[in-house]
Amino acid sequence: MDKNKQFFDEMIAGPDTVTDPYIGYNKWFAEQDPDHLTRKSQEAETFFRRSGITFNVYGQAEAQERLIPFDLVPRIIAEREWAKLSKGIAQRVTAINAFIHDVYNRQEILRAGVVPYDLVAKNDAFLPQMMGFSPPGKVYTHIVGTDIVRTGPDDFFVLEDNARTPSGVSYMLENRETMLQMFPELFSRVRVKPVNSYPDSLHRALCDCAPPACNGKPRVAVLTPGIHNSAYFEHSFLADQMGVELVEGHDLRVVDGRIAMRTTLGYEPVDVLYRRIDDEYLDPLSFNPDSMLGVPGIMDIYRAGGITIANAPGAGIADDKAIYSYMPEIVEFYTGEKAILKNVETFRCAEPDALKYTLDNLHELVVKEVHGSGGYGMLVGPAASKQELEDFAAKLRARPANYIAQPTLSLSTVPIFTDSELAPRHVDLRPYVLVSPNGINITPGGLTRVALTEGSLVVNSSQGGGTKDTWVLEE
């Protein structure tokens, strides 16, 4: 990366000058002893380790379980900035839900030619088993994580829409709890919107989507693949915070036309299942017959109104990276409004002209797998070696439809605390959105992921990134 390139820094406006949102924090920071902050940073690591806040790294034989590094300098967003972001996120999530309902029912957007038919029909994320079915309240994406990047004071872009099983919200909550414990006096000086109501809001949103067969107070459970999953800590954490059961596939079975959960009193019906396993493994009778993680017959019960699955099977059609490139048109088609939040310019490598452009400019682009996540399988052209570029070009030529390409954005930076001083690092933001028939709830803040390596643009924890507490200021 070009180390001389200038990036928008969200805290530092110039020599001895900070941006408005950081004025209160900067005054507090100037009063602190750097050695004291270094000790606090080490204390945070100990807190996370004792709490068991770890994630697994797939494909590595050693040290598979890791801590996500935590940086104690918060990312601070002004209330007016958050208001714009919230409005744009709500508009986008509304359109995403409408799009998913449409493609599994009347398919008006396909018949209008706004989105190509083959891009949906031949998409691995499209589930024919969902055709002609509408979940309670027509809610498909009960929990959404919208990844946002910033390039300037008023320039925000949506990097991707996570509409399947978005992760990371436990880190948002634990980051805030850690900061409150370490620096309680700071929160008396800087007024920050709270995030601790998220588990209650999540539980309420799930209950609001109870199926027709529910009789009385909805029973919610969290379905996990098990302790070896990279996000198992989060599954357990959220179940505990909501006061609901954490279950695996073998804890559930079909009983009298319902999905029932094993309890000390026998099998009891489950009304809403917050599943944290992929579609492919959800029901071996409908999808992967070798799956040991799901529940045989759950899709039949789901379609008959006996259970709500959150997020809905097939919702991944909306966060496919090729579909992403049509999101401005999708937003306008369903809301009648121009998209408030901009997309990153995207080249669909399945198209010959886009493939040629991508191959000719590979050293300047970021290339991602259409169904990829976690930073795996991507190329950051400006940081790649000549050999890496040649190898990736061969992959592109072999399977062009598997990739999209985007320009390398000048992501904003936020200082991290390192070696007793502040140093800029690139960040993104994942706000968490809850959708129910009663409306859209956006937690004020979200998870800020930070690329801890100087100059790196890759913020994913699986690729060495860390996290920060995200503050939205009270007016």
pLDDT band of residue 338 (cuts 50, 70, 90) is very high
Q: How far apart are CA 340 and CA 351, in angstroms?
A: 27
Q: Which residue has the tokens 């000048």?
A: 410
The answer for residues whose C-beta is within 8 angstroms of residue 70's C-beta and 6 or more apart is 41, 44, 45, 48, 175, 178, 466, 467, 468
pLDDT, tens digit, for every residue of 74-102?
999 999 999 999 999 999 999 999 999 99
Which strands sit side by side in the sheet containing 347-348, from one edge to the other? 347-348, 403-407, 365-369, 379-380
| Under 8 Å between Cβ of 206 and 272 | yes
Structure tokens at 277: 């396993």
Which residue type is seen at 383?
A: A
Return the pLDDT at 271. Answer: 98
Burial bucket for residue 237 (CB in 10 Å: 0-12, 13-18, 19+): buried
pLDDT band per the 50, 70, 90 thresholds, residue 66: low
Looking at this protein, which amino acid is placed at residue 237?
A: F
pLDDT digit string, tens, across residues 401-460: 889 999 988 899 999 999 888 999 999 999 999 999 999 999 999 999 999 988 887 787
Residues 348-379: tens digit of each pLDDT: 999 999 999 999 999 999 999 887 665 567 89
CA-CA distance, 92 to 215, in Å (whole number)?
33
Give the pLDDT of residue 410. Answer: 87
pLDDT at residue 2 greater than cutoff 70:
no
- Taken in order of first residue, the domains within the chain and their CATH numbers are 345-408 (3.30.1490.270)
pLDDT in tens, 171-214: 999 999 999 999 999 999 999 999 999 999 999 999 999 999 99
What are the backbone angles phi and psi of residue 390, rounded to the nearest 5°?
A: -65, -45
Q: What is the DSSP letter of 192?
A: B
Sequence-ordered list of residues with C-beta below 8 angstroms from that of 132, at least 6 positions apart, any chain: 104, 105
Per DSSP, the three-state class of 256 is coil
pLDDT band at residue 5 under the 50/70/90 scheme: low
Q: How far is 365 from 117, CA to CA, in rounded Å?
A: 28
Residue in this structure with the two tokens 């009960």, named with its chain if needed: 142
Nearest CA to 84 among 158, 25, 20? 158
What's the mean pLDDT in 314-335? 94
**At residue 4, does pLDDT exceed 60?**
no
What is the pTM for the complete model shown?
0.92
Distance from C-alpha of 348 to C-alpha of 345, rounded to nearest angstrom: 10
Token pair 């924890």 in the structure block, residue? 461
- Cα separation, 128 vs 119, in Å, equals 14
| Cα–Cα distance for residue pair 248/324, rounded to 1 Å | 32
Mean pLDDT within 279-287: 97
pLDDT in tens, 241-269: 999 999 999 999 999 999 999 999 999 99
Confidence check: pLDDT of 104 > 50: yes
Helix (DSSP H) and strand (DSSP E) numbers for the chain = 14, 25
Backbone torsion region of residue 284, taken as left when φ is above 0, otherwise alpha when ψ lies between -120 and 50, otherwise beta: alpha
What does the pLDDT average to over 307-322? Answer: 94
pLDDT beyond 50 at 58: no
- The whole-number pLDDT of residue 62 equals 43
**Interacting residues of 32 by C-beta distance below 8 A, sequence separation 6+:** none
Report the candidate in 327, 306, 323 with the shortest Cα–Cα distance to residue 314: 323
